[in-house]
Chains A and B, each alone.
Chain A
Amino acid sequence: MSLIYRFEIYPDIHHLEGSATREKSLKDWIAQYENREIKNIWEIKYFQIEAEQPIANILTIAREVFTDSVVEVMISSLELEQSSQIDLWLEKKNFQKPCLIDISFRPGVTDNSALASLEALHCIPELKTISMKVSSGMMIYIESTHPMISLQLEGLAYEKFANKLLHKVTITTHSELSHKKRLQNLTFPAVSIIAEKAKVINLDVEISQLEKMNNDNCWALSLDEIQFIQSYYKKLSRSPTDVEMEVIAQSWSEHCKHKIFSSEITYSESQLPPGVKSIGEFTVKGIFKNFIRGATLKIQEERKIPWLISIFHDNAGIVRFDDVLDICIKVETHNSPSALDPYGGALTGILGVNRDILGVGLGAKPIANTNVFCLAENQYFEENKISIPLLLKNPDRIKEGVHLGVQDGGNKSGIPTVNGAFVFDRDFVGKPLVFCGTVGVIPQVENGKVTHEKGQRPGDLIVMAGGRIGKDGIHGATFSSMELVDGVPTSVVQIGDPITQKRLGDFLIEARTLGLFNSVTDNGAGGLSSSVGEMSQLTNGAHVDLEKALIKYPGLSPFELMVSESQERMTFSVAPKKIKLFLDLAHKRSVEASVIGEFNNSGFLSIFYEGESVGNIDLHFLHESLLPMKLKSHFDPTHMAPHWIKQTIKKPRLPLKAQKFDLEKILLELFRSPNIRSHENYIRRYDHEVKAATIVKPFTGTKEVGFSAPSDAGVIWMKPHGGGADNSIAIACGLCPKVSKFDTYLMAEYAVDEAVRNAICVGANPDEMVLVDNYCWPDPISSARNPDAEYKLAQLVRASKALYDISLDYGMPFVSGKDSMKNDFIGINEFQETIKISVPPTLLVTALGRVPSISMIRTSEIKKESELLYLIGENLIQFQSAFELGELYEDYQVQYPLPQLNPKSQIEIYRKIHLALKDKLIESSHDISDGGLLLALAEKMMGTTLGIKISIDLPEKEWINFLFNESAGRILVTVNPKNQKAFEQILHGAPLMLLGETTSSGHLVVKSNRVEILNVSGVVCMKNYKCQVGEI
């Protein structure tokens, strides 16, 4: 009979007000989203210990471990008489009739607080050998102005504090609330599941039965694929085991295999709007092979680039932009998990991409993170009275969750988040896009070996290290290749454990330095089936004993052990003679590791469980046999499916003042719009300078204005990482999903150029720059539920062709990339109609470039008065491409033709700018993107107390075009007058316009034909830009 102790941690009587800010923000949240007035709310953390026998001295120990004696006191199940204290405190906090919400973890869900507490308890000498379990939870005392019934409290708990997939919520209403009673009736979350034996799957059945099995087992295979497996096993004269079917399904999932990017696609087009580029009719045998890798190989050959070290075949791309270090980069998405559990999804997203870096070559060290969120905002739906479909989470809750996930993932791992973006669109309400990127470094040579090559050999032991295996994350890879519908199995959700991963990462680097392993890869999607499956390709075989893998709790079936995506695990290949050193070091570093098998050259992935064979898969069949799909695409913009929102959205008209456009009002309105306004309150919760190497941070400007102006790119110094003392790298991103509905070819060009342009602005060399592509697309495969798939596939082809064209013209290779192809939600709206919400086709481009000397790094804000202000780029007056104005005003529509980019001449402009930066002829540089020229000017100014005056001399009808049009390729710079001649000489041949100069006024003044048409202060611009920031 086991014992349960419970310890609740309360602030002491003098510090009851310590959490006042948190309580106020909770009240505000509930008032805003639940329309309910809360009188009092109070969060209290608790811990429970389950032990076989009574633990001596437990009260003193628990008090030392769980409380901070200066400000906290503990109420425990061992001192029931003390519990009356709680009522006293509640009274002090003005509660009259509190109810209690108790939130604990469901059995088997990763509970980081509990794991850490267990370690803490084990620090105490007398507890070192005592076996016990710990759980943690949260109690919320709550009292609303109008009493709430249990069901309402439970609803609120799941809305704000808990997730049905992860937490158990227990409600105690005021009339039932007795502290003594609840401290006497304790339960401890326990997993009780029974392992199933591996079984044989009979595929010799009707098609309908095959399809049912496919659905029931979450294989997410196509009928063609199942029939292919069926005939393969027929030839072998046997049936597959469940383990084999799971391994095949994981390996062939869209997530792992990228079937759409490998398929043969025919493309045709019709009804092209004016200015939309025709790309002809053709068949492409693999978008990835031809357009992405194709471009890279061609560039590598044409430019004879020596710095592409490892591309496309490993977990991340590796380039040589330093004399000592190699630099690697990877960007991933974690959309579906983030839709289900925003916090856990984003946290495992960032930790997952960190592991990609840890698992590249012989293991690189992560030095910087990036993150881009594409989200919806609740405000939009509220203002326009649109109901969010059932089952979907409040988009603001998603925002809070994914943000906290990235924050915890990056901060706790000690990796600075140096660059990113927030992009908002109502169509991200169905699936949020969560992009997480990581840059890492690795010494070029170590222990006499090049580090970018993996070296697993037959005879090496397979070691799984880091986290243990549980049910979490089973079917993650197949799930992310499915649409999000109701009834998802809870196991697809995972919670990350940053401390376990941090130890694993530190250990990995130490073991690498000591030369203790030959190869490593991460356990991401597909778990062991993917990691061992991929690694065994190089040796051509592996033997796995599944029962040797460390598990979180008993009861896991063999197939679950094989495909579980429990986090923080990496698979190593260790030579037998080094295994002792390897395991000893792991133990010393508190990293759990177990030998689970051996690599061989049998040609098979042989899987055993307790001595019995549960799967034996021909590696050739697993990795090489799948034939590409054949798909058809047709680009005809008139064939778009109707939008899920039917109603027209009311917008105001462009504001006028004295019969002329009110430029100030428009500018400030732009500053407040979701895609432009500051998210500093979110971004400053990321640590962006741990490791002391971030030269250009997310914000810049002077101290007087709080360093609050936006930067264009992040710049990381190589010296602190052991690289060149004068060397640094720039990381920038670009994405423009708003352009997709006009033309995805242009969208892709804009995305590439935006990333490149941002990197150029801070000083990166255009001739030492690489790109990473991340596609997030709506489902482009035809089905009854997807009538406009051919159009979406054509959009994909066009975007990919654009990537090919522009990367060749820019001479910038792609070194890594990823695609996520099913970003749709199918659900029911308020009228009980089935609706589908697809994300706008989104392409994130990340640029990584070398800044050859740190002294040439420039930031966006103007630096001094009386400097010359130039526009490098076209004036665009003949276009109507102010996308952001189109979002804001009823009487403004973006129209074809849209401004085109000329990549061949654009790259020459960038080379010239880079030369000018090198010669120190530019004082500040800032890219023009969302909102157009006027907004970029204001941004340059408001980071300082200085001002800007420009003259435009245009008729009023062209003001809007000139000041607000958006396109690509344009940059604003300031130049010291003494350098004017040299600067203009270098820029000769580029479109260049001297707009005006900087002043000391603190105002942005625009004159047209000597009449002042705008005079706005930097303070006012900043105030509007930071309209939702509040206190940092």
Chain B
Amino acid sequence: MNRSNIKVLVLTGDGINCEEETANAFREHGVQPRIIHIQDLIEKPTLLTEAHILALPGGFSFGDEIGSGQILALKLKYSLGEALTTFIKDGKLIIGICNGFQALVRLGLLPKPFTQREMTLTHNRQGHFINRWVDLTIPQSKCVWTNTLYGLTINLPIRHGEGKIVFAGDKASQDKIYESLLEQGQIALTYKEDINGSSFKIAGVSDPSGRILGLMPHPEAATSEWLNPSGGEKSGQIGIGSKIFESGIQFCETNF
């Protein structure tokens, strides 16, 4: 389908913060994103049926109380559970960035939708929030959001306090979960160095279909080289973060 017909819903409300820049990141590629308040979507779940991409932006939904993404996940599960299930079963795309990733994980949609949860995101090893630009490697995977970046090392900002990926069970069980993700091509981004204590330095994972991506770094904050952290590397070029949105859009163009 033509990209101008691709419909993107960007969720907002209840403490989500990054809806504007997430919408901008889509808009710059010629699609028409709509920022929608959770409550409005609950009232009109058909919007989800009509959409091709759902974006859960970063932020501090519900103040990150209890656990980051936890209450947003509960709200989505009990108010939009059915619509979301259909959305996923229809093969539509979801991207969850930072708090959005945390919510997808708490919802049980990542790493494997509709199965017992076995992965979570918890407090960074350092025990606090960190904002810095970090190097990430993009392994070959099933993820449709990173497929134009396979094999590259890219620099993106992280801004989180709870980005450490942890797997369930004892060491053997944790290793097994990791190996399964690896085998299924679900590891979408890894930190080049240990940044926050995340297991196997994972920074982003996708579901087995590659259509649902959750990642801790913020590609929407790296869509222009003016936003690069080094004074010497600022320019009018498009930023590397843009590629992730472009990849998702390309997938829709080809497949819907």
- Residues in A lying within 8 Å of B, measured CB to CB: 14-15, 18-19, 21-22, 25, 64-66, 68-71, 112-113, 115-117, 119-120, 123-125, 407, 411-414, 497-499, 502-503, 506, 588-590, 684-697, 699-703, 706-707, 717, 720-721, 854-855, 857-861, 863, 924, 944, 1031-1032
Contacts and interface: CB of A to CB of B under 8 A. Distances in A.
A695 B159 contact: no
9 contacts: A14-B171, A70-B166, A116-B71, A411-B129, A499-B60, A692-B18, A702-B230, A703-B155, A703-B229
A414 B59 contact: yes
A411 B60 contact: yes
B60 A412 contact: yes
B83 interface: no
Contacts of A859: 230-232, 234
Contact of A123 (B79, B173, B218): B79
A498 B220 CA distance: 23
Contact of A857 (B66, B128, B234): B234
Nearest to B236: A855
B221 A692 contact: yes
B117 A120 contact: no
A69 B117 contact: yes
A442 to B, nearest CB: 15
B130 A1032 contact: yes
A590 B13 CA distance: 9
Contacts of A588: 37, 39-40
A885 to B, nearest CB: 29
B92 interface: no
B74 A120 contact: yes
Given A407-B129, A498-B60, A590-B14, A18 B227 contact: no
Contacts of A407: 129
Given A414-B18, A414-B59, A71 B132 contact: no
Given A68-B67, A502-B17, A684-B132, 6 more contacts: A113-B65, A503-B15, A684-B131, A690-B18, A692-B220, A861-B232
Interface of B: 12-18, 20-21, 24-25, 37, 39-40, 58-60, 62-67, 70-71, 74-75, 77-79, 106, 117-120, 122-123, 125-133, 135, 155, 157, 159, 166-171, 173-174, 218, 220-223, 226-227, 229-232, 234, 236
Contacts of B59: 414
Contacts of A25: 127
B227 A695 contact: yes
Contact of A699 (B119, B123, B125, B229): B229
Given A684-B132, A717-B226, A863-B232, A690 B159 contact: yes
Given A117-B65, A499-B15, A707-B230, A18 B130 contact: no
A18 B166 contact: yes
A860 B229 CA distance: 12
Contact of B170 (A14, A697, A701, A857): A14
Nearest to B61: A499
Contact of B63 (A19, A68, A116, A699): A116
Contacts of B25: 692
A857 B232 CA distance: 11
A1032 B71 CA distance: 28
Nearest to A125: B78
A588 B12 CA distance: 13
Given A18-B166, A120-B74, A701-B230, A499 B63 contact: yes
A113 B66 CA distance: 7
A803 B55 CA distance: 49
B198 to A, nearest CB: 12
Contacts of A66: 66
Contacts of A696: 231
A1009 to B, nearest CB: 34
Contact of B117 (A70, A720, A1031): A70
Given A65-B66, A700-B231, A689 B78 contact: no
A115 B63 CA distance: 10
A707 B229 contact: yes
A430 to B, nearest CB: 29
Contacts of A687: 129, 131, 159
Contacts of A1032: 126, 130, 132
Given A125-B78, A690-B58, A854 B155 contact: no
Most chain A beta carbons < 10 A, residue from B75, B132, B167, B229? B229
Given A65-B74, A113-B66, A688 B168 contact: no
A21 B127 contact: yes
Given A65-B66, A590-B14, A687-B131, A71 B231 contact: no
A19 B125 CA distance: 8
Most chain B beta carbons < 10 A, residue from A65, A116, A695, A699? A116
Nearest to B108: A69
A855 B226 CA distance: 9
B120 A71 contact: yes
Contacts of B120: 68, 70-71
Contacts of B157: 689
Contacts of B24: 692, 720
A506 B59 CA distance: 13
B62 A116 contact: yes
Nearest to B42: A588
B74 A64 contact: yes
Most chain B beta carbons < 10 A, residue from A115, A687, A702? A687
Nearest to B168: A70
Contacts of A112: 63, 65
Contacts of B74: 64-65, 120, 123-124
B129 A18 contact: no
Nearest to B229: A707
A695 B15 contact: no
Given A123-B74, A590-B14, A687-B129, A71 B122 contact: yes
A65 B70 CA distance: 8
Contact of B20 (A115, A498, A720, A858): A720
Contact of A692 (B12, B63, B223, B231): B223
Contacts of A119: 62, 71
Contacts of A691: 17-18, 20-21
Most chain A beta carbons < 10 A, residue from B60, B74, B75, B231? B231
B66 A120 contact: yes
A116 to B, nearest CB: 3
A103 B120 CA distance: 27
Nearest to A128: B78
Contacts of A707: 132-133, 229-230
The 6 closest A-B pairs by CB, nearest first: A414-B17, A859-B231, A116-B65, A692-B21, A499-B63, A70-B120
Contacts of B106: 68
B70 A412 contact: no
B89 to A, nearest CB: 23
Nearest to B239: A692
Nearest to A45: B66
Contacts of A863: 231-232
A503 B58 contact: no
A357 B37 CA distance: 23
Nearest to A120: B71
Contacts of A717: 226-227
A416 to B, nearest CB: 9
A685 B231 contact: no
Most chain A beta carbons < 10 A, residue from B67, B218, B230? B230
Contacts of B70: 65, 68, 120
B62 A499 contact: yes
Contacts of B14: 499, 503, 590
B123 A19 contact: yes
B37 to A, nearest CB: 7
A18 B131 contact: no
A859 B77 CA distance: 46
A120 B66 CA distance: 9
Contact of B66 (A116, A124, A502, A686): A116
B226 A695 contact: yes
Nearest to A703: B230
A600 to B, nearest CB: 35
